Amino acid sequence: EDQVTQSPEALRLQEGESSSLNCSYTVSGLRGLFWYRQDPGKGPEFLFTLYSAGEEKEKERLKATLTKKESFLHITAPKPEDSATYLCAVLPGGSQGNLIFGKGTKLSVKP
């Protein structure tokens, strides 16, 4: 069964304290892995697409990496405005576009 697991469920950091969020997946033939940011009461905001192991993408303080079993979202020197829930999703092989989402990691960055 295709599955996506995100860890930790919640993460509290001090401003400037770098860390990583994990997204591990079990899918048949990964076509793509996607990261999103979601603020309370709003729709997800698309961040990155990763297609193959070894690929990396960066945006400001965020860097996403991909291996054959998992993806990491590294947050370097986070600021309070980085506080949000970060979602990961995968597109399995054979899918017509049905993304499988993880349950998310809620990140809180304290000043």
Partner 1 sequence: DVKVTQSSRYLVKRTGEKVFLECVQDMDHENMFWYRQDPGLGLRLIYFSYDVKMKEKGDIPEGYSVSREKKERFSLILESASTNQTSMYLCALLPYLYRPSTDTQYFGPGTRLTVL
Query: Under the rule (CB under 8 A), what is the footprint of partner 1?
Result: 31-32, 34, 36, 41-46, 49, 51, 87, 89, 91, 95-99, 101-104
Shortest distance (Å) from residue 38 CB to partner 1? 8
Report the candidate in 21, 30, 22, 20 with the shortest Cα–Cα distance to residue 68.
Answer: 30
Judge whether 85 and 104 are in contact, CB under 8 Å. Answer: yes
Cβ closest to partner 1, residue 18 vs residue 98: 98
Cβ closest to partner 1, residue 16 vs residue 29: 29
Shortest distance (Å) from residue 72 CB to partner 1? 19
Shortest distance (Å) from residue 52 CB to partner 1? 9
What are the start-end ranges of the H helices in 9-93?
none
Give CA–CA dist 81/33, Å, rounded: 24
